[in-house]
Structure 1
Amino acid sequence: MNNLQKIGGIAALFEAAIYIAAFVFFGAFWDYPSSAGDAQKFIFLTNNQLILSIVNLTMYVVFGLFLAILVLALHQRMKTKAPALSQLASVFGIIWVGLVIASGMIANIGLAAVIDLSTSNIEQAKTLLVVVNTIVEGLGGGNEVVGGLWVLLLSIAGLKINELPKLLHYLGLFIGSVGILTIYPAEILTEIFGLGQIIWFSWLGVAMLKTPQN
């Protein structure tokens, strides 16, 4: 059990690290030519397909794998004292795992299809790119309702059974609520959720590594 908690804590720290890496990459290194013509945009995507595919793999698929470990570890930690809340939270956690991993696979397969199609029909490639981006955003890129519910329910359970720091759970209540609010497509809400998750995952990881299970 203690080993699972340590592994879960490490997984939480990796989640935070992936969030940070994604923010840094898209904020400082990704220079997508939004104002350029369609041909230039597809040339840019073609030239950067490998790095973008690696980034998608990391921030969706790898993130999802670490998330699965964390969901299991937190369920094991809380299931005895808060069985109903822990089980319900785990349901949303596992659903989030599936959505995040699916987003990454669709993003990379879709990117390859768009680039291939752009060599013969740019207009159709533009349409396909919009479709792929919409699906990815709907599943896990711009809609954090499921993840928000997971964090919110975990925080409620943690406060109820006095497991892990209270301030961490109060932060979780806020972040989980913001995640649920992303059902309304406002970029600021998604950004608050993402930045808040960096703090929450980091704090959670340290707490799981340092705090023995009650």
Structure 2
Amino acid sequence: MSNLQKTGGIAALIEAIIYVSAFVFFGAFWSSPGGGDAAQQFAFLAENKTVLSIVNLVMYVLFGIVLAVLVLALHERLKKGAPTLSSLAAVFGVVWVGLVIASGMIANIGLGAAIDLATTEPKQAMTMWRTVYTVVEGLGGGNEVVGGLWVLLISIAALQSQALPKAFNVVGLFVGSVGVLTVYPADVLTEIFGVSQIVWFSWLGVTLLKSNET
């Protein structure tokens, strides 16, 4: 139990680091030629395919793998004081893991297929890429309902069981609620959820590591 909580704390901190890295990468280093034609855009994607593939692996696949560890750690921590809510939260956590990992794999496979098609049919390739992007956004990029429900249920279960600090749980209620609200397609909600999750994951990681020491 103690080792699992320590591992969960490390996992939570890794999730926060992945979030920060994604914001920094797309905010400071990634500048695709949005105004160019299909051929120019795919030339840019082909030139940066390796970098983008690695980013997708980290941002989605690695995030999902680490999240699985955290879901298990939190379930173990909360199941004694709030068994039903903890189990329900774990279900949504596992679903979120699957959606996030699937998003990363679809993004990378779709990227490669679109780049290959672009050598002969750039317009069709652009249609394919936009379709892939829409699927990825729907599964885990722009829609955070499942992740929001997981955070929300974790927070309610932790309040019931008093297994995590009350102030942290109040923040979790806000983070989870914003995640659920991303069912409405507004970029600002997704951004608020992402930024607030950095705070939530960081706080959770420190809390789990400190409780493990105690």
- For normalisation by structure 1, the TM-score amounts to 0.98
- Give the number of aligned pairs: 214
**Is 1:13 aligned to residue 41 of structure 2?**
no
* Cα drift, residue 38 of structure 1: 1.6
Partner of 1:109: 109
Amino acid of the structure 1 residue aligned with 2:51: I
Partner of 1:137: 137
What SS does structure 2 have at the residue aligned with 1:168? helix
User: Which whole-Å CA distance do the structure 2 matches of 1:35 and 1:171 have between them?
Assistant: 40
User: Which whole-Å CA distance do the structure 1 matches of 2:109 and 2:213 have between them?
Assistant: 41
Q: CA offsets per residue over residues 14-40 of structure 1, 9 Å max, x none?
A: 000000000000000001111112211
- For normalisation by structure 2, the TM-score amounts to 0.98
User: Which whole-Å CA distance do the structure 2 matches of 1:213 and 1:109 have between them?
Assistant: 43
Unaligned runs of 5+ in 2: none
Partner of 1:209: 209
Structure 1 contact 107–132 (Cα < 8 Å) conserved? yes
Partner of 2:194: 194
Structure 1 contact 163–213 (Cα < 8 Å) conserved? no
Runs of 4+ in 1 over 3 A off after TM superposition: none
Partner of 1:178: 178
Unaligned runs of 5+ in 1: none
Structure 2 contact 60–100 (Cα < 8 Å) conserved? yes
Partner of 2:64: 64
Partner of 1:2: 2
Query: CA-atom RMSD, angstroms?
Result: 1.1
- Percent identity, please: 66
User: Which whole-Å CA distance do the structure 2 matches of 1:108 and 1:212 have between them?
Assistant: 38
What SS does structure 2 have at the residue aligned with 1:203? helix
Amino acid of the structure 2 residue aligned with 1:172: G
Structure 2 contact 68–94 (Cα < 8 Å) conserved? yes
Structure 1 contact 5–73 (Cα < 8 Å) conserved? yes
What SS does structure 1 have at the residue aligned with 2:133? helix
User: Which whole-Å CA distance do the structure 2 matches of 1:203 and 1:90 have between them?
Assistant: 20
Q: CA offsets per residue over residues 38-92 of structure 1, 9 Å max, x none?
A: 2110100000000000000000000000000000000000111110000000000
